[in-house]
Amino acid sequence: MPELPQWYFGYGSNMVSDVFTKRRQIQPLKSEVAVIESHTLCFDVMGVPYTDPAMGGIRLATAQDVPVYGVAYLLSPDDMRRVIITEGGGIAYKTAVLTATLQRDSTRISVITLIARHQIASSYERMPSERYMGLLIQGAKEKSLPEFYQKRLASQPTFKAVPNPRFRIGKWLFDSFWQRVAFYIQKGVHHFNDENGNVPGWFLNVFDG
């Protein structure tokens, strides 16, 4: 990884300071509101069933899509690596280099951002949870993203839990299993990551089954 600072584009929960700087302990050298006009926000990263069915991703935009807005953070190499590790070490996301436009002065910059490792058709996307969308809405407001984009986030349909015994039993069974799996995945990501923060290929093969 280059020793010079690089721009990272965050469009999901990493727009929220409590998540990015406090929980992930990343200290940006600079931050700017930006847009990637070639891509749009989507929810193509599979999350946790029953709770957070989908996480945010981005895909190529069509003429009808709203371009994805977010925050461009200038990061040190160590903090860029920390972003990759705290986002799963390449399990759910992979890095992409795209062009973003800063809203302050229309400067175009090259940014590193995250896209789904397993991209799916838009018809297979799932709805995000209210909790997750709340973070995106909070981050957009906190960073003063354009008002129309904040309204777009607020209008996003969200997953609603089904309040019946079958759902509650299914959730309990899955959570009992997933908590153990997630614990070992997290330990593996922090132990086996490379100089860029990504886990090795064999780890991905084990994860993919």
Whether 12 has a binding-site annotation, put simply, is yes
Whether 69 has a binding-site annotation, put simply, is no
87, 130, 142, 147: the active-site residue: 87
Is 3 among the catalytic positions? no
- Under 8 Å CB-to-CB from 17, ≥6 apart: which residues? 142
Whether 93 has a binding-site annotation, put simply, is no
- Under 8 Å CB-to-CB from 78, ≥6 apart: which residues? none
Q: Would you mind telling me the total number of residues written for the chain in this entry?
A: 209
Q: Provide the sign of the torsion angle of the four alpha carbons 61, 10, 16, 182, taken in this order.
A: positive
DSSP letters, 49-63, are TTTEEEEEEEEE--T
Three-state DSSP at 180 gives helix
- Measured distance CA(80)–CA(93) in Å, rounded: 14
Whether 10 has a binding-site annotation, put simply, is yes
Whether 9 has a binding-site annotation, put simply, is yes
Query: Which residues belong to the annotated binding site?
Result: 8-13, 132
Query: Which residues belong to the annotated binding site for substrate?
Result: 8-13, 132
Catalytic residues: 87
